[in-house]
Amino acid sequence: MLSHVEWGCRRESRPQDYIERKGGAVSVEQQVIVTNQAPEPIGPFSQAIQLGQTVYVSGQIGVDRSIGKLAATDIEAQTRQALKNMEVVLRSAGSALKQVVKTTVHLPDLTEFNAMNAVHAQIHPQGFA
């Protein structure tokens, strides 16, 4: 079973973005990202935080929002659903899966690594960190 997947990515620059220098430090606007197309976070989390041009997506699991439970019991289907959830959160932030630069996957059963990784490779054939 997939525990969750986290992503960090850059997004396309938009005119309302700004970086402001204050006494040598850089101040960047922070925005909470929310979409009703992905499962609601459990606990005191947001689906994502946008900081300047970088989007930090909270951990996602293979829950299908339309049915309110895991999409399936197999790791491939859960990974696909977690990635779909990530995709809609990223889109809400003006980003996309192709802009992902790093992922962290929490996988309790390492025997499922190859199956999970194969799904990731379909989404990101060029690889990522």
Lowest mean pLDDT among 21-25, 86-90, 114-118: 21-25
Question: What confidence tens digit (pLDDT) does each residue in 109-119 have?
Answer: 999 999 999 99
The token pair at 69 is: 């439970």
Domain count within the chain: 1
Q: Is residue 116 in a domain?
A: yes
CATH number reported for the structural domain that contains residue 117 in this entry: 3.30.1330.40
Lowest mean pLDDT among 4-8, 35-39, 47-51, 54-58: 4-8
Q: Does residue 33 have a pLDDT over 60? A: yes
Q: Is residue 107 in a domain?
A: yes
Q: Is residue 101 in a domain?
A: yes
Q: Is residue 90 in a domain?
A: yes
Q: Does residue 2 have a pLDDT over 90? A: no
Average pLDDT score over residue span 79-108 = 91
Q: Is residue 43 in a domain?
A: yes
